[in-house]
Amino acid sequence: MTTYEIRDDPDDLPIICAPLAEAERRGSRRAARLGIEVLIYEMHPTRGERFIGAI
């Protein structure tokens, strides 16, 4: 099952989100609250990690 993660920095601990919409929503809120760019990654059990984009 694919999950998504948001991070403030590639090396930071992730915040795990189930659907992409949740990751985008939480990432937008976090970016607005902290005033920084938030990164979204797709995590797949066999394909591994893939960078989706930044908010």
Give ∠ CA 18-1-52 in degrees, rounded to 5: 60
> What does the domain layout of the chain look like in residue ranges?
3-54
As beta bridge partners, residue 15 has 6
Q: What is the pTM of this model?
A: 0.91
Cα(55)–Cα(47) distance, integer angstroms: 23
3-54 pLDDT, tens digit per residue, is 999 999 999 999 999 999 999 999 999 999 999 999 999 999 999 999 999 9
DSSP per-residue letters across 1-55 = --EEEEESSTTSPPEEESSHHHHHHHHHHHHHHHTS--EEEEEETTTEEEEEEE-
